[in-house]
Amino acid sequence: MYSPKIENTQVRRLYLLKMSYASLGINKPMTEIVKEALDKYIPEKADEILKAGGTLLKPDEILEKEIT
């Protein structure tokens, strides 16, 4: 399985975002914040590829909405 390297500055920004949620009384784990970000990012980039005339590999898998 792919194990991405996340830059320290990105981890810090995620932590600050998590703590900003905490200031509102919302307990949101950093992993949940990352999942939400990827759920928005991946379809956006897939659409960008299609609009540029590209082809998605396994589009059903890329665009699959995960049930939480």
Q: 11-25 pLDDT, tens per residue? A: 999 999 999 999 999
Are the C-beta atoms of residues 33 and 17 closer than 8 Å to each other?
yes
Are the C-beta atoms of residues 63 and 44 closer than 8 Å to each other?
no
Confidence at residue 53, expressed as pLDDT on a 0 to 100 scale: 96
Are the C-beta atoms of residues 47 and 54 closer than 8 Å to each other?
no
pTM: 0.77
Average pLDDT, rounded, for the chain: 92
Confidence at residue 1, expressed as pLDDT on a 0 to 100 scale: 77
Spatial CB neighbours of 34, under 8 Å, sequence gap ≥ 6 = 14
Confidence band (pLDDT; 50, 70, 90) for 63?
A: confident
